């Protein structure tokens, strides 16, 4: 056994122990340093990485168990061996419960120490190998922020990577929540336009007039309320990428305007005469069947072909359930960074996640995990924390007896409930409610609801 | 190369064969002249009455002043220890000039052939002097520089260096063949 790449920290208040143990370990080729007290050891943990720490249990000031607790937080992958001259079952059990790798009773039998160090070197080499493999696996299954190992998504990544290098218009197809905007942003970041802006715009959320003004900008006085000249998204995205979401929902007039821009690469602000050159790459997205919309006459065929230069279809999450564990890990990493709390998913909760149908796709999964991380008692998300169990059937707007409410309140509650049910999937909620998406968006705004059905903070915080 | 000195610092007379066997073995393994150093001085301060053992660090410090110049291997029949371990077969200054090795635990009672204990002593002597040449423990199968925390481990290894360790000894000034 040689420990050439293994960094060892010996923490003991007795100089003679530090010296003799350090010398013994150096003969095995370990890189050994020592600390005479717990606080020094903690400082050394903050500065450097250690593979193995041999920590005396009984030290004045900060004792070995406190050092062990700090080590578990600062360097969870290090193997901590507790050393004690007073072996009791209690201290050994406590040390092991706190995550010690093992413990030794002073003075050590040379064979015992030798075997333990062999074990620790093997364990540390597994830790390193594991880290390398996980990194490689993540790299292999990632296209920037997109995470997947499914064959269908791998084809999407390959196509998107190739498409990113061109300037062609891309049409991203996929259900709500399947990651269309994330893919668009990724394509932008991989493209030669990455240095320019990425501007995203949902075409379903606004009325025709407002959308026109949002896209092309307007001149002062061009309509009531146009108090100043304003640049639109096409100008804002100059040199970059313009992402037009819900493109299947735009009106016939705007379809024509957009077609002209795509053909002539020029546009005019609302109320203006001056043609402005377009220097944007368009990525459009929809969850509608645009071919069907062309057939039934609600979407212009010429615009469809202009947009459908490179079509990329994102599969729904229910068709790539093998990605769920990978996505869970990805979102938990994100949540750890945001919440400063590392949570795990229990095997039962993972089972529930795999069994769910995910109508709201990856967005729904992210929301469910966020909820789980907040609700979980401790650091493990259990099935009950996910809120995935179907809510008991209840008539819309049912209230406690004796509390009559207005029709508007009933409508608000029902929309909120349906949005909650679809995990924020507006299209699906609109279908269930029997209204179009534009109407649903306006009601969401009117009732100040978030997409997941919760009431938003009117202050905008 | 300067001669390496071999010095008996034990209590009982080791007999004429023991040191001679070690001397010849060291000479072959290290490719250096090895001479017996005879001096009746003993490291009495190195005895720890609580442990009833002899401290190697105190012996090595004493050897530095009481012994001959150059590289020295002391051999004793006393049981040796370092503070953190229950016992050691020997110890050396890594990259230094003094080393000590003990016969106390190399020949357990009832050992059928006394030559086994002698062979173990020769191997551990080469091993400790290997540390003086700056060698650390080696993973190559059978190399004398393998860590040997038990007598069984000593029996498993050969009495000489693997090619890598031999190169290092040669580079450090030894003449290992």
Question: Is it true that A318-386 and A393-461 share their CATH fold?
Answer: no
Confidence of residue B104 (pLDDT cuts 50, 70, 90): very high
Sign of CA dihedral A12, A16, A21, A27: positive
Share the mean pLDDT of chain B: 92
Contact A107 B81 (CB under 8 A): yes
The H-or-E segment that residue B92 falls in is strand B90-92
- As a whole number of Å, the CA-based R_g of chain A is 30
| CA–CA separation, A429 and A62 (whole Å) | 58
The CATH number of A7-138 is which of 3.20.20.140, 3.40.50.2300, 3.40.640.10, 3.40.190.10? 3.40.50.2300
Name the minimum distance, in Å, from the CA of A94 to any CA of chain B. Answer: 23
Give the number of other Cβ atoms within 10 Å of residue A160's Cβ.
Answer: 24
A54 touches chain B (CB under 8 A): no
- Supply the pLDDT for residue A144: 65
> Which residues in chain B (22-51) have CB-CB distances under 8 A to chain A?
none
Distance of alpha carbon A422 from the chain centroid: 19
Nearest to B136 among A16, A20, A27 (CB): A27
Tens-binned pLDDT, residue by residue, of chain A (461 aa): 556 678 999 999 999 899 999 989 988 889 999 999 999 999 999 999 999 999 999 899 999 999 999 999 898 889 999 998 876 777 878 888 889 999 898 899 999 999 999 999 988 888 888 877 776 666 666 666 678 888 888 888 888 888 888 889 999 999 988 889 999 998 998 888 988 899 999 888 778 888 888 888 888 776 666 677 788 899 999 899 999 999 998 999 989 989 999 888 888 888 888 888 888 999 999 998 999 999 999 999 999 999 999 999 999 999 999 889 888 988 888 888 888 778 889 988 998 999 898 988 999 999 999 989 888 888 889 888 898 855 334 444 444 444 567 777 778 888 888 887 777 788 888 877 878 888 888 888 888 777 665 555 433 33
| Closest chain B C-alpha to A59 CA, distance in angstroms | 16
Domain range A318-386, its CATH number among 3.30.230.10, 3.30.428.10, 1.10.8.60, 1.10.260.40 = 1.10.8.60
Reference A310, options A452, A402, A173; nearest CA is: A173
CA–CA separation, A216 and A270 (whole Å): 7
φ, ψ for residue A160 (rounded to 5)?
A: -65, -40
pLDDT at A394 (0 to 100)? 41
Phi and psi angles of residue A30, each rounded to the nearest 5 degrees, phi first: -70, 150
Q: How many CA atoms lie within 13 A of A44 on its CB side?
A: 20
Does the distance separating the beta carbons of B85 and A108 come in below 8 Å?
yes
CATH for A144-315? 3.40.50.300
Q: Which residues of B touch A109 (CB under 8 A)?
A: 85-86, 149
The architecture of the domain spanning A393-461 is Orthogonal Bundle (1.10)
Beta carbons of A110 and B86 less than 8 Å apart: yes
Query: Counting one residue from A and one from B, how many pairs have CB atoms under 8 Å apart?
Result: 61
Residue B53 pLDDT level (bands cut at 50, 70, 90): very high
Question: Which fold is adopted by the domain B4-170?
Answer: Collagenase (Catalytic Domain) (3.40.390)
- Give the gap in angstroms from C-alpha B99 to the nearest C-alpha of chain A: 13
Strands of A62-109 (E only): list them: 79-84, 102-105
CA–CA distance, A304 with A296 (Å, rounded to integer): 13
So what's the ipTM on this one? 0.83
Which of B53, B54, B84, B144 to mutate to probe the A interface, most A CBs <10 Å? B84
Cβ pair B147:A28 closer than 8 A: yes
Beta bridge partners of A199: A242
Question: Given this model, what pLDDT does residue A337 score?
Answer: 80
What is the predicted pLDDT for the residue at A458?
Answer: 39
**Which residues contact residue A120 at a Cβ distance below 8 angstroms, ignoring those fewer than 6 apart?**
A6, A51, A52, A79, A81, A101, A102
Closest CA to A57 of A119, A13, A9, A107: A13
Q: Model's pTM, two decimal places? A: 0.54
Are B158 and B144 spatial neighbours (Cβ–Cβ below 8 Å)?
yes
Chain A residues touching B91 at Cβ < 8 A = 23
Residue A62 burial (C-beta neighbours within 10 Å; 0-12, 13-18, 19+): middle
Residue B108 a catalytic site member? no
pLDDT, position A87:
64
Interface check B150 vs A, CB under 8 A: yes
Please check whether residue A1 touches B, CB under 8 A: yes
Rounded-to-integer distance, Cα A153 and Cα A160, Å: 10
Please state the domain extents for chain B: 4-170
E strands along A220-273, which residues? 230-231, 241-245, 266-267
């Amino acid at each position: 056994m040689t420990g050439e790449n293994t960094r060892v920290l010996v923490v003991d208040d007795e100089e003679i122990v530090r010296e003799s143990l350090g010398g013994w370990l150096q003969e095995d080729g370990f890189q050994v340093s020592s600390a005479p007290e717990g606080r020094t050891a903690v400082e050394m943990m903050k500065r450097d990485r250690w593979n193995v720490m041999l920590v005396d249990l009984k030290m004045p000031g900060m004792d070995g168990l406190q050092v062990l607790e700090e080590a578990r937080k600062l360097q969870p992958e290090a193997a901590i061996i507790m050393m004690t001259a007073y072996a009791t079952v209690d201290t050994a059990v406590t040390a092991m419960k706190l995550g010690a790798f093992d413990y030794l009773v002073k003075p050590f039998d040379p064979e015992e120490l030798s075997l333990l160090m062999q074990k620790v070197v093997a364990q540390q080499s597994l830790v390193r190998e594991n880290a390398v493999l996980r990194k490689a696996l993540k790299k292999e299954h990632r296209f920037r922020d997109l995470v997947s190992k499914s064959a269908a998504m791998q084809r999407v990544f390959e196509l998107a990577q190739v498409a990113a290098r061109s300037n062609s218009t891309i049409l991203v197809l996929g259900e709500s929540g399947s990651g269309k905007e994330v893919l668009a942003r990724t394509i932008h970041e991989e493209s030669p336009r990455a240095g320019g802006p990425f501007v995203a715009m949902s075409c379903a959320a606004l009325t025709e007039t407002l959308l026109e003004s949002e896209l092309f900008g307007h001149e002062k006085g061009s309509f009531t309320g146009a108090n100043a000249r304003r640049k639109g998204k096409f100008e804002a995205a100059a040199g970059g990428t313009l992402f037009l979401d819900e493109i299947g929902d735009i009106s016939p007039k705007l379809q024509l305007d957009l077609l002209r821009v795509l053909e002539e690469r020029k546009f005019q602000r609302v109320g203006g005469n001056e043609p402005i050159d377009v220097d944007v790459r368009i990525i459009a997205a929809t969850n509608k069947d645009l071919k069907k919309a062309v057939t039934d006459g609600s979407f212009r065929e010429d615009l469809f072909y202009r947009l459908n230069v490179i079509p990329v279809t994102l599969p729904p999450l229910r068709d790539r359930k093998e990605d769920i564990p990978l996505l869970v890990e990805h979102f938990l990493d994100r949540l750890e960074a945001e919440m400063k709390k590392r949570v795990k998913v229990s095997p039962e909760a993972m089972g529930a996640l795999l069994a769910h149908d995910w109508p709201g796709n990856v967005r729904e999964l992210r929301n469910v995990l966020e909820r789980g991380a907040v609700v979980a008692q401790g650091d493990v998300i259990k099935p009950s924390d996910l809120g995935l169990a179907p809510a008991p059937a209840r008539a819309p707007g049912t209230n406690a007896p004796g509390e009559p409410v207005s029709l508007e309140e009933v409508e608000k509650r029902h929309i909120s409930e349906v949005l909650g049910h679809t995990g924020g999937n507006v299209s699906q909620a609109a279908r269930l409610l029997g209204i179009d998406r534009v109407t649903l968006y306006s009601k969401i705004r009117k009732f100040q609801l978030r997409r997941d059905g919760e009431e938003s903070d009117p202050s905008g915080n | 190369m300067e001669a390496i000195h071999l010095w008996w610092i034990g209590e009982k007379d080791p007999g004429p064969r023991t040191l001679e066997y070690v001397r010849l073995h060291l000479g072959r393994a290290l490719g250096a002249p090895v001479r017996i150093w005879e001096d009746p001085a003993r490291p009495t301060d190195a005895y720890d009455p609580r442990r009833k053992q002899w401290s190697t660090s105190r012996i090595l410090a004493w050897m530095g002043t009481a012994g001959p110049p150059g590289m020295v291997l002391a051999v004793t029949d006393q049981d040796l220890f370092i503070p953190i371990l229950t016992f050691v077969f020997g110890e050396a200054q890594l990259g230094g000039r003094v080393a000590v090795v003990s016969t106390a635990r190399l020949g357990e009672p009832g050992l059928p052939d006394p030559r086994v204990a002698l062979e173990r002593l020769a191997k551990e002597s080469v091993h400790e002097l290997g540390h003086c040449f700056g060698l650390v423990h080696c993973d190559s199968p059978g190399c004398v520089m393998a860590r040997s925390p038990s007598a069984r481990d000593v029996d498993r290894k050969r009495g000489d260096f693997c090619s890598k360790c031999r190169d290092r000894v040669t580079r450090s000034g030894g003449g290992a063949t």
